[in-house]
Amino acid sequence: EVQLVESGGALVQPGGSLRLSCAASGFTLSDHYIDWVRQAPGKGLEWVGRSRNKAKSYTTEYAASVRGRFTLSRDDSSNSLHLHMNSLESGDTAIYYCTRPLKDGSAWWVGDYWGQGSLVTVSS
Amino acid sequence: DIQMTQSPSAMSASVGDRVTITCRASQGIGNSLAWFQQKPGEVPKRLIYAVSSLQSGVPSRFSGSGSGTEFTLTISSLQPEDSATYYCLQKVGYPFTFGQGTKLEIK
């Protein structure tokens, strides 16, 4: 059974850093792309970033709002992926979801499997 | 960035009604559009990808259509369990962008 479990969410002060983790089970994470999507309290969905698979050298893409502050990395030994968040702002307060996309031909469609999310609160 | 604009932002309809939600892109996105449903307290669920491909397990009353910059999600006969917020997503280029959401309530 495919499962994604996020962890690491916490209350952090503005300007601080945090690392979220996404632990995968039921499949080999290195074979798959992973997207992060966030949702601020009471607000809509925002795509945060993408980590491509090992075949694509784990290259990454980011939303403009987080580019230069957030970084995605992988740990094949633990079948997990990390979202490193620096220079956090109040606008980063959200539930962060890791999600495995659907591969259809050469296209990867966001949101085939989702974790339950990890809450990040940025506040003094 | 490509902007995705959904309309309406909120609506209510009766069980059995035909419901249409529209998503407009700020530039052409080919068939790189998906639709998601999110119920309160739940994670989003993808209903449709590539404009009109129905995700496995999704009821056939849901359908998608459109091309270029205008796309629609249609629920042919609204059911009580369809009360949710619906989002479109474009993935033609980075960054991917969601619409702002359409909150659908059952009368």
State the smallest CA–CA distance between residue A107 and chain B in angstroms.
9
Q: Are the beta carbons of B44 and A61 separated by less than 8 Å?
A: no
Residue A26 DSSP one-character state: S
pLDDT at A105 over 90: no
Which residue(s) pair with A22 in the sheet?
A6, A81
From chain B, the residues in CB contact with A111 under 8 A are 34, 36, 44-46, 89
A10 close contact with B: CB closer than 8 A = no
pLDDT tens, residue by residue, A42-99: 999 999 999 999 999 999 999 999 999 999 999 999 999 999 999 999 999 999 999 9
pLDDT tens, residue by residue, A27-46: 999 999 999 999 999 999 99
Please enumerate in sequence order all residues whose Cβ is within 8 A of that of B10, keeping only pairs 6 or more positions apart, or say none.
B102, B103, B104, B105
- Rama region for B29: left / alpha / beta (φ>0; ψ in -120 to 50; rest): alpha
